[in-house]
Structure 1
Amino acid sequence: MKKTMTLVCAILFVSASHSQQQEKINYLKTFAKAYGYVKYFHPSDEASETDWNSFAAFGAHEILKCQNQTEVIATLNNLFQPMAPSVIFSNTKQNYDIRAITPSNTESYEPIYWQHKGVSKDMIHQDQRYSSIRVNSYNEIDESRGFGSLTLSIDPEKYKGKEIKYTGWVKLKEGSEGSGHLWVRVDKSDKTVGFFENMLYNPITSTEWNEYEIIGEIDDLASELFMGALLIGDCTLF
C-alpha cells in the first residue's frame, strides 16, 4: 500500500506540474498576440518609437510571474497602457470612451494608421516588394528600412561537403549609426536553407579595422551558395 500511495502521489505531482507549465505557455501566447496587434497596428507615436525587441523580453518575463488569469490581465494593461492607452484587457466586454484621447477640435488633424503591404517594419531582411507605412505621421515611417546588402552568388557544386571560411577586414565609417555584417547562406535543392550566418548576434560596430570570420559547411544538397555584406541603420561599411 505504501508503494502504491507513493506512485499515486508522484503521478499527481507530475500532472499538476505539467498543467502549470501549460498555463504559462498559454499566458505567453496571449502576450504574443497582444504584442503583434499593438506593434503592427496601434498608431500612437509611443508605439512607433518603442524598442520592441527589448519590450518582448521584458514583457515575457513579467507574464511568467503571473499565477492566474487575473494577474495576466493586470500585467497586460500595465505593459501596454503607456504606448496604447486605448487598448484595454479584460475578461468582460468594455466600452472605451474614445473621447478621452480625442482632441476637442479635430479640424487640423488627420487620422494616423498603419498601412502594410506585406510587412517590412523591423524586418532584418528587407524586400522592396513589402512596405510598412504609418500614414499621416510626422515621425520616420520605418527606421528599419535603413538597410543595404551586397551579394555574391557562387555555384556550390564542387564545394559540396566541404568547409567554407569567409574572412574579411572590415570597419564602420566614423559617425555611423548602425551595424555591419558579413553573411553566408547555403540554399538546398529540397527548398530548405542549409548553413546560414549573418553575424546578427555579433555585428560589426567598430570604426577600427578588424578581421571577421565565418566558418560553416556546404551541404551535400547545396544548390546555391551566397555570401556578402549588409548594413542595418544609417552607416557606411568599408
Structure 2
Amino acid sequence: MKFIAELLLSLSTMASFACSSQAQSSRETDNLISFAKAYGYVKYFHPSTEADQVDWGWFSVYGSAQVLECQNKEDLLQTMQQIFEPISPTLIFCLTEPIFSIVYVSIANHTVLP
C-alpha cells in the first residue's frame, strides 16, 4: 500500500509541475515520460546501495524540472545520464539499442528493459 501511495504522490507531483502555467509541448511530454520510466526502474528495481539513500519525492521534482528544459533527445540523454549517475552509476542511457547490454533504457521510444 505504501508503494502505491508513493508512486501516486510522485506521479501527481510530476504532473502538477508539468501543467503549472502553460500547455506542454510534445517534446516536454516525451521528456517527462522518459524520466518517469527511468525513475520507476531505478527506484524500485535497480540494485544500487546509493538508491536507498535518495529522497525520491525531491528527486522526482528535481528530475522533472531538469528534463523539461531539454530541447532535443541528445540533450535529454545527457541530462538523464547526469542526474541518475550518483544514484545508479551502472545505468547507461542511449538513443539506440546497444549490441549488448544488461540494462537498456531507450529515450527514443520510452522503452525500459531490465
If the TM-score is normalised by the length of the shorter chain, which range does it land in? 0.5 to 0.7
- 1 or 2, which has the higher strand percentage? 1
Q: Are positions 1:58 and 2:99 aligned together?
A: no
Q: Are positions 1:45 and 2:52 aligned together?
A: no
Matched AA of 2:27: E
Q: Are positions 1:77 and 2:81 aligned together?
A: yes
Which 5+ residue runs of structure 1 have no aligned equivalent? 1-17, 98-238
Q: CA deviation at 1:96?
A: 5.3
**Percent identity of paired positions between Structure 1 and Structure 2:** 42
Map 1:157-196 to 2 at 5 A.
none
Matched AA of 1:30: S
Which of residues 34, 37, 44 in structure 2 aligns to 1:30?
34
Q: CA RMSD in A?
A: 1.8
Query: Tell me, what secondary structure is at the counterpart of 1:47?
Result: helix
Query: Tell me, what secondary structure is at the counterpart of 1:76?
Result: helix
Tell me the TM-score normalised to structure 1 length: 0.31
Query: Tell me, what secondary structure is at the counterpart of 1:23?
Result: helix
Q: Residues of 2 paired with 1:96 and 1:88: CA distance?
A: 9
Matched AA of 1:57: V
CA distance 1:59–1:65, change in 2 (3 Å): same
Q: CA deviation at 1:43?
A: 1.5
Query: Tell me, what secondary structure is at the counterpart of 2:70?
Result: coil
Which of residues 87, 92, 103 in structure 2 aligns to 1:88?
92
Q: CA deviation at 1:93?
A: 2.8
- 1 or 2, which has the higher helix percentage? 2
Tell me the TM-score normalised to structure 2 length: 0.63
Larger relative contact order, structure 1 or 2 (CA cutoff 8 Å, min sep 6)? 2
Matched AA of 1:21: S
Matched AA of 1:48: D
Contact 1:86 1:96 in 2 (8 A): no
Match of 2:13 in 1: none
Q: Residues of 2 paired with 1:73 and 1:46: CA distance?
A: 21
Q: Residues of 1 paired with 2:101 and 2:81: CA distance?
A: 14
Which 5+ residue runs of structure 2 have no aligned equivalent? 1-22, 103-114
Q: Residues of 2 paired with 1:91 and 1:79: CA distance?
A: 17
Q: CA deviation at 1:81?
A: 1.2
Contact 1:24 1:64 in 2 (8 A): yes
